[in-house]
Amino acid sequence: MKKARIIKPICLVGALLLPVSIGLMTLLGCSENVGYAVGFQILLGVSVGLNFQGPMMSALVNAPKTPGSSILTTAFIQFGRTTATALFSLIASAIYTSALKTGIIKITPQWQETKYAPGDVVIQMGLLDELNSHDKMLLQKEILVGVRNTFWLALGMSFVALVLTLCMSSKRVPKPGEVEA
């Protein structure tokens, strides 16, 4: 961003790739190729990376040029990010847990394993390897349903990020000679 001095177009590329990458991750199944999962995670990381620093830079470029304003702007942005991360982590955790509990209740009548209950296997994931293929697939599908439900939340948040990126200022980073000391 420093060389080209542009902020918004780079953030827009990241904001457009974000829903695409999360949407692709919702399509993954239990027995998908690991290469797809890794590729989609790389795409997700690139999209988040392109949109991570831009909002901070845009806010700092638009902040008043009075003493302490850049510190307050940075603190405000970081507070917002931290609070949103904590809040939506709790919401995603609640969504995953609720979906998994519902799924375990649903698969319990089909469970063939007598040594371990489905809830015990979820708590100790090392037991998953000791299950027969039928029970292992049942449990993996329900875990995937929980993960997919959290991806829907992430997809919704990625569209919010896209809209907010569209609302960003189009100001460029000032040239080194234009910066006030």
pLDDT tens-digit readout, 66-89 = 888 889 999 999 999 999 999 999
Is 53 among the domain residues?
Answer: yes
Sequence-distant (≥ 6) Cβ neighbours of residue 78 within 8 angstroms = none
Classify residue 164: in a domain, yes or no.
Answer: yes
- Token duo for residue 20: 């695409």
**Beta-carbon-side half-sphere exposure of residue 138 (alpha carbons within 13 Å):** 20
Residue 146 near residue 99 (C-beta atoms within 8 A): yes
Say if 88 falls within a structural domain: yes
Residue scoring higher pLDDT (76 or 112): 76
Give domain status of residue 153, yes or no: yes
- For residue 180, is pLDDT > 80? no
Is the pLDDT at 1 greater than 70? The verdict is no
Summarised one tens digit per residue, pLDDT across range 46-58 is: 999 988 888 998 9
2 within some domain: no
1: in domain: no
Residue 170's domain comprises 8-178
Q: Tell me how many domains the chain contains.
A: 1
d(CA 95, CA 98) in angstroms, rounded, equals 5
| pLDDT on residue 73 | 93
**What stretches of 76-173 adopt beta strand conformation (E)?**
none
Q: Is residue 3 part of a domain?
A: no
